[in-house]
Structure formats: structure tokens, C-alpha cells
A and B are shown apart, each in its own frame.
Chain A
Amino acid sequence: NAGVMQNPRHLVRRRGQEARLRCSPMKGHSHVYWYRQLPEEGLKFMVYLQKENIIDESGMPKERFSAEFPKEGPSILRIQQVVRGDSAAYFCASSPNRDYEQYFGPGTRLTVT
């Protein structure tokens, strides 16, 4: 029973490039959440998606960040024109329904040089 899968695990991008982070939820889970953990800071909510729908994007920066969860395939967090301040660990979590616990994937550690 595979857990939440994220790839890549480590991603290095130069300033101005695009970063694409992928998340496959646990089997049977249709709710996906993205969180960001900046160095020495707590986890911060970014966005909550169900298949083909963004439910809550209140934590997403207004510019350069977008997320999707298509009918087929993984959820994608996209960061355009990355800056050094985007360097962080990005975690995806999933749950089988909106009221259930959230289980986290291993994360993608983004480094912007």
C-alpha cells in the first residue's frame, strides 16, 4: 500500500527558471494539499485540491505559483521564474475525504541558485 509519492525529491533551479513538483496521492485518496516549509520555519498551507478543482488557494502567493490536479495523473505545483526565496521543502499531503487525517509525502526540496 504505497504512501503519498512526490517527485523529484530534490530539485535545483537557477533564478528565473520554472519548477514543477509532482504529487501522487495515496490509493483511494482524492484530496490533495500542498504545504511549504521554509528553513527554520513552520509548515504553511498553500493550496487544497480535489480532482480537477481548486478548493482553497488562500495560502498561494498571488504571482508565479499555480497548482492543478487533473482527472488523470498527479497533482502539479508549478513555480514560474523562481527566486532564491522559493528555496524550501514542499510537502504534499492527501486524504480520502475532507474530514479525514492528512498523510504527508516525503517532500521535494527545492534549491534556487
Chain B
Amino acid sequence: QKEVEQNSGPLSVPEGAIASLNCTYSDRGSQSFFWYRQYSGKSPELIMSIYSNGDKEDGRFTAQLNKASQYVSLLIRDSQPSDSATYLCAVKEGKGFQKLVFGTGTRLLVSP
């Protein structure tokens, strides 16, 4: 069973700090990696996608991918209380597979 692992949290950070969210995956053939944000009772919202090793920045968000270590992370700079949500890591397996395999999510709490 191919798995995506995340620490369930909660991860608590003060407003303005950097929040670091981590994810590991088991399938070495995985090609595409995504971070979704899900507020309680709402649907997942795509924040970032990353396909190659290294960093990808978009505003306050930076995704980092290390395929050799099978590790993907999301950094949120200048965290705001509105960032408080559950962050889901999702992995798409190798070519030919289109389903997303999700981790159980990390709950982030940003305190004012």
C-alpha cells in the first residue's frame, strides 16, 4: 500500500512566524506533489504543486521537494491566523496513474 505520511499536529506557531509542514511518501516512482489547504467543514483548496527537486515559491508559500529522500515540505512565511487550517499533502504516482494519494493532514494553528 503506497502511503503518504504527515504529522497530524497540531502545529502551533505565533503570528508572523514561519510554519514548516512536512510530508514523506513511500512510492519512489511518484512524479507530482501537491499541497492543499482545508478549513474545517470545507473542501480542499490547492495551494502549491511541485514536480522537480528543489524549491518553488509562490507568495508566502514555498514548497520543497527532495525525491532522493522521498520528502516534500511546505513553508509558510509570516503566518497569519487565517492560515489556521489542515494542510494536506498529496502525491500522484508515476505516469499512467492519475489518482491523488493523500496524507491525513497536519493541523496548523496560528495564534495572534
Contact = CB atoms under 8 A, between A and B. Distances in A.
A69 interface: no
Contacts, number: 51
A101 B104 contact: no
Interface size class of B (residues with CB under 8 A): 20 to 34
B43 A56 contact: no
Interface string A36-66: 0000011111001000000110110000000
* Contact residues of B: prevailing secondary structure: strand
Given A42-B88, A42-B104, A104 B45 contact: yes
B84 to A, nearest CB: 18
8 contacts: A35-B102, A42-B102, A45-B101, A98-B98, A102-B46, A104-B36, A104-B43, A107-B42
